[in-house]
Amino acid sequence: MHRLLQGQLKRVVNLRSPEDVDVLLSGLESLSGLSDLPPAVTRFLSGARQLLERVSLTYEQFDRDLDLRARSLELSSQELLDANERLRRDAEAQARAIESLRESANRLLAGNDRADLDDGTDSLEKLSRLMAALVRERTTA
């Protein structure tokens, strides 16, 4: 019997051990044989053991589902952490590439007696277009 169901039986009807529960259920089953009981009471008394077994199985299934959900969340969390780390490394690499392009562009601009780019120029697309234009100028000159 599931520990939560055992705890509830202990609190509600003071059944302290699995043997106490078995004694109770056997007593209920024997009472179900009395002829002067209403049919619904007879059915309940004879089905009490099966009812408690089903409740116990439901608790066990809930525990398994909870464990599975916790493992799934742990795996998803780790996947998100890994993806975040990859994105952080990619962003750092992109920042290094942008800084390198900015430095190269500034060297080319200085060679053409033009003003340096400011540190706020961090668009990879803009830097790429500028580099292409500077290379074209240099090859046509």
- Cα gap 131→139, rounded to integer Å: 12
- Written as six digits, the tokens of 92 are 């750092």
Consecutive 10-residue runs of the chain (141 residues): their mean pLDDT? 91 91 93 91 94 96 96 95 96 90 84 76 80 83 67
Tell me, what's the pLDDT at 56?
95
- Cα gap 78→53, rounded to integer Å: 38
Domain of 115, in residue numbers:
3-140
Contact 49, 29 (CB under 8 A): yes
- Cα gap 70→85, rounded to integer Å: 22
Contact 108, 138 (CB under 8 A): yes
Cβ–Cβ contacts within 10 Å for residue 105, how many?
21
| pTM score of the predicted model | 0.59
- Cα gap 57→11, rounded to integer Å: 20
3: left (phi over 0), alpha (psi -120 to 50) or beta: alpha
Report which DSSP code applies to 73. Answer: H
Number of domains in the chain: 1
Contact 24, 15 (CB under 8 A): yes
Tell me, what's the pLDDT at 141?
67
Residue among 134, 140, 128 at smallest CA distance from 109 = 134
Tell me, what's the pLDDT at 27?
94
